[in-house]
Amino acid sequence: MVKSSLIRAAVQAKNRAHAPYSDFRVGALLLTKNGKAYSGCNIESSSYGLTICAERVALFKAISEGEEGFQQIYIATDHEQFCPPCGACRQVLWELAGDIEVIMINRERKHRSRQLSELLPDAFDGQFLEGK
């Protein structure tokens, strides 16, 4: 269930983004299965490889606080289109959060929902490293 308060929180996280190089601000709000929310924003570095996306910030904050079991991630941008997570975030979300619902929020605060498995079909994960 998409809640307007969660959309507002993702937009607030976007407003805290540090994006002086791309000016592409992203906010994320990760919701646990027990209803706790963790926010994140993208944080850029002049060494672009050291930049971190909002989705991973939110997920890493939650995991570092001992959370496990996630249900949704809200992703807000200033773009007119619905912006999905980048490939790196899709992979990390798949491995650490599973097949969660991804709610993408555009600049008009409209939203579109997809399951992560729709955004990352035939995902690679730890099962392939088990030698089976």
Query: How, if at all, do strands 70-77 and 101-105 pair?
Result: parallel
89: part of which helix (H) or strand (E)?
helix 87-97
Count CB-CB contacts under 10 A for residue 68.
Answer: 11
Question: CA of 51: how far to CAs of 32, 83, 91, 96, in Å?
Answer: 25, 18, 16, 20
Annotation says 80 is catalytic: no
70: part of which helix (H) or strand (E)?
strand 70-77
Catalytic choice (55, 67, 80, 108): 55
Which residues pair with residue 101 across a beta bridge?
A: 72, 115
Q: Which residues are catalytic?
A: 55
